Amino acid sequence: MSRAVAIAGVGYTPFTRRSGRSVLDQATEACAAAIDDAGIARHDVDGAASFMVLDDSVVSIAVGTALALPELRFALDVQLGGQAPCVLLQHAAAAVAEGHAEAVVVYRALNGRSGVRVGGGQFPGPGAAYRYPIGYGAYMMYVAMWAQRFLYETGQSSKDLAEVALAQRWYAQRNERAVLREPLDLDTYLAAPIVVDPYRMYDCTIEVDGSCAVLVTTLERARDMRHPPAVVASAAYRSAPRAGLDIGDHQLVDDFTRNYTHRLRDELFGRAGVTVGDVDFAEIYDCFTSTVLMGLEGLGFCGRGEAGAFVRSGATALDGELPVNTHGGLLAEGYLHGMNTLTEAVLQVQGRGGARQAPRHEVGVVTSGALVDGSAMVLTADR
Amino acid sequence: MSRAVAIAGVGYTPFTRRSGRSVLDQATEACAAAIDDAGIARHDVDGAASFMVLDDSVVSIAVGTALALPELRFALDVQLGGQAPCVLLQHAAAAVAEGHAEAVVVYRALNGRSGVRVGGGQFPGPGAAYRYPIGYGAYMMYVAMWAQRFLYETGQSSKDLAEVALAQRWYAQRNERAVLREPLDLDTYLAAPIVVDPYRMYDCTIEVDGSCAVLVTTLERARDMRHPPAVVASAAYRSAPRAGLDIGDHQLVDDFTRNYTHRLRDELFGRAGVTVGDVDFAEIYDCFTSTVLMGLEGLGFCGRGEAGAFVRSGATALDGELPVNTHGGLLAEGYLHGMNTLTEAVLQVQGRGGARQAPRHEVGVVTSGALVDGSAMVLTADR
């Protein structure tokens, strides 16, 4: 048995700076919304999966209980961050393909601003003893080091980072869900304080409270549901080439000019039966602007060192050759650790993007994760 | 793509009461042994999966690095206990079936006696505040409560528990890996102190340090390897019907006379295309003796309340109709949280059981987990 798999629905809570609600409450709302959006009955949902960082969320059985789902045949909870959405989708899709589950809800929920904040979080690990005494202790700092080397080695600069922030803010103005919707120009970008060199304020994602979810089922069932299916054409994951001490250890890699995207690209497109030229739009994980540049280069949408110019040319705009981060990205919609990157891709493939709908939306690519390890997925229309 | 999947090799460290070694070192040895046992090259292994309780183990990328595996295409680390082995196999097998990985090593490693002990472990959770002040704080106590109700409701007694301990010790004498190999008779059993009513000392698993692992790949590749393939004919998982406060919360279920085995039985056998009567041997998770009785009844090998008599009749002995826990079980071989239950099933299907080899070993069933949630698998010879 190997059944074609699709995403049939998406669900969201509002994204806020202070929800005033429990994480479970928000997870339940988003999952219920995804199930209702698909038009499936709750008693037909037999799987759930999610991820958490620093114990900031609730496990799948809790959401299953809150929604009065039947006992789960597939329940997967992993301790991962932004690498997780596409790889959880991969596992859920494999389970559905193989008949281990019929309908799986995959969600991310957190009080990422009012509760446990990754931005200021303490990541324990053997390396902490070396880093913390010198004040090198926040996740943002680690990514910034990588970004500096990436810019230096590829001959790019903070001007190239700025292009990403500006382009995505344009989309955010067309997304009622986005937390940051004011127009952004280059002067404003450059006038903002540097948080961690090379990142200015506008290079950084905005932490929020909230939840979003998708409903994964067979393509056959999805065809009878409310919206056109978003077909899971392929998914791929790559671990770090080797284990580091912990999240702040950059000794994992030899090449800071690329991230995992270039290592999984061939498998990702090959298994989907598409080429990079077939891709109509891309939703690229963007905890920081540099990740988008690395993703564009890594996936092969442009050459090494050319991503900034690619964005500057308008290629990633709505009328460009490859609309990118059409929700405004994590930078502007909010930091749901890439789960909302995935939900946006579903909306785009389904043609539900509203004022920010990509004109061509037959083939979309999504990535999850910023640096050494991560996952990605190709979604297509039902062709 | 849906490829048939098999287990091609197993690997072990010695099981000891004080390893004097790191968990990583033991995990690496067992995984290397499983890979070598299959006869595959390390550079062909592209997946790893494991589980841990109370942070007692090491994540898969660490083992991948120690073994110099290539970067992983499948890496799964979950925070689960005895429920995990068969469900990890299910996920790994789905990944291989769908082409997301070619060869996955699945392992459990811990210093379960000299390091982090589950037996005396503190399980944090909202329920702890209610239980700990009255001295109700160890995992063993929770299972004992369930066992008491099971025995009462099904008209069985500690004499029935004894049958399991005695039957399994017979096997342990034929297993050089077992930690407890002395003969055990009923008088000795009954003379042992009650640890937590209804459990005497011999009803409880023995905590050990060690690691074991399996190598999962396609059936097609397995056929070219060193040993006959153990085909993964089916696997199934069931969550709790609803979420409890934590591991010590028994309010999850209404019926304490059954565990998850009776809820997944039909799916398990149905998907494997076998009936309960086709099963040649069973390896049933046994952190405590009562779990074996519940598993025999739950899977349908005997009727409700008849498991003790079933074991007493000799049915689970090597010359009986259904050899059970042929390695001596967790009770005697050691508490690797059921990963060694799975490896034993592989050895049996492959005909490598030595002095404890079941005469018929075409179809074997394995379970993972004691109570409300758990998983199971059917392994068959290559037919």
Q: What are phi and psi of B153, to 5 degrees?
A: -70, -30
Q: What residues in B contact A242, CB-CB < 8 Å?
A: 61, 64-65
Q: What are phi and psi of B234, to 5 degrees?
A: -170, 160
- Cα separation, B262 vs A154, in Å, equals 60
Residue of B nearest to A96 (CA): B94
- Cα separation, B112 vs B330, in Å, equals 12
Whether B335 sits among the annotated catalytic residues: the reply is yes
DSSP of B247-291: TT--TT-S-TT--HHHHHHHHHHHHHT--GGG--EEE---SBHHH
Q: B2 touching A, CB under 8 A? A: yes
Mode of pairing for the β-strands spanning A374-380 and A103-111: unpaired
Query: Residue B249's pLDDT is what?
Result: 77
**Taking CA B120 as the corner, what is the angle to CA B119 and CA B126, rounded to the nearest 5 degrees?**
105
Pairs of CB atoms within 8 A across A/B: 109
Residue of A nearest to B239 (CA): A72
Torsion angle of C-alpha atoms B358, B362, B368, B369, degrees rounded to 10: -70
Q: What residues in A contact B266, CB-CB < 8 Å?
A: none
Q: Hey, are the CB atoms on A263 and B95 less than 8 Å from each other?
A: no
Query: Residue B130's pLDDT is what?
Result: 83
Q: B5 touching A, CB under 8 A? A: no
**Three-state helix/strand/coil letters over chain A:** CCCCEEEEEEEECCCECCCCCCHHHHHHHHHHHHHHHHCCCHHHCCEEEEECCCCCCCCHHHHHHHCCCCCCCEEEEECCCCCHHHHHHHHHHHHHHCCCCCEEEEEEEEECCCCCCCCCCCCCCCCHHHHHHHCCCCHHHHHHHHHHHHHHHHCCCHHHHHHHHHHHHHHHCCCCCCCCCCCCCHHHHHHCCEEECCEEHHHECCCCEEEEEEEEEEHHHHCCCCCCCEEEEEEEEECCCCCCCCCCCCCCCCCCCCCHHHHHHHHHHHHHCCCHHHCCEEECCCCEHHHHHHHHHHHCCCCCCCHHHHHHCCCCCCCCCCCECCCCHHHHCCCCCCHHHHHHHHHHHCCCCHHHCCCCCCEEEEEECCCCCEEEEEEECCC
Smallest Cα distance from B79 to chain A, Å: 8
- Res B371 pLDDT > 80: yes
Whether A142 sits among the annotated catalytic residues: the reply is no
- Res B118 pLDDT > 90: no
* pTM flag (> 0.90): yes
Query: Residue A174's pLDDT is what?
Result: 98
CA distances from A332 to A91, A337, A339, A361, B1 (A): 29, 13, 14, 22, 39
Q: Name residues whose C-beta falls within 8 Å of residue A139's C-beta, 6 or more positions apart in sequence.
A: A118, A119, A121, A123, A247, A248
Task: Tell me which of A40-44, B124-128, B304-308 is least confident.
Answer: B124-128
Mutation pick from B3, B67, B100 vs chain A, by most beta carbons of A within 10 Å, is B100
Query: Residue A131's pLDDT is what?
Result: 84
- Cα separation, A106 vs A60, in Å, equals 9
Hey, how many other C-beta atoms are within 10 angstroms of the C-beta on A383? Answer: 7
Q: What residues in A contact B95, CB-CB < 8 Å?
A: 91, 94
Residue of A nearest to B70 (CA): A241
Q: Hey, are the CB atoms on A61 and B239 less than 8 Å from each other?
A: yes
Collect the ranges in chain A with pLDDT lower than 50. Answer: none
Q: A267 touching B, CB under 8 A? A: yes
Query: Residue A63's pLDDT is what?
Result: 96
Q: Hey, are the CB atoms on B71 and A263 less than 8 Å from each other?
A: yes
Per-residue pLDDT band at B14 (split at 50, 70, 90): very high
Instruction: Write the residue in B2, B61, B263 that is nearest to A98 by C-beta.
Output: B2
Phi-psi region of A259 (alpha: psi -120 to 50; beta: other; left: phi over 0): beta
Q: B314 touching A, CB under 8 A? A: no
Q: What residues in A contact B60, CB-CB < 8 Å?
A: 239
Closest CA to B377 of B10, B30, B6: B6
Token digits for B109? 């490693």
Query: Residue B122's pLDDT is what?
Result: 72
Q: Using alpha carbons only, how large is chain A's radius of gyration in Å?
A: 19
Q: Hey, are the CB atoms on A242 and B65 less than 8 Å from each other?
A: yes
Is A290:A143 a contact under the CB 8 Å cutoff?
A: yes
Token digits for B320? 């009986």
Across chain B, the runs of DSSP E, i.e. the strands, are 5-12, 47-51, 74-78, 103-111, 194-196, 199-200, 209-218, 230-238, 281-283, 363-368, 374-380
Q: A265 touching B, CB under 8 A? A: no
Token digits for A354? 């509203």
Please say whether the dihedral angle defined by the alpha carbons of residues A274, A277, A280 and A286, taken in this order, is positive or negative: positive
Residue of B nearest to A62 (CA): B243
Across B281-362, the runs of DSSP E, i.e. the strands, are 281-283
Per-residue pLDDT band at B128 (split at 50, 70, 90): confident
Please say whether the dihedral angle defined by the alpha carbons of residues A137, B78, B89 and A375, taken in this order, is positive or negative: negative
- Res B124 pLDDT > 80: no
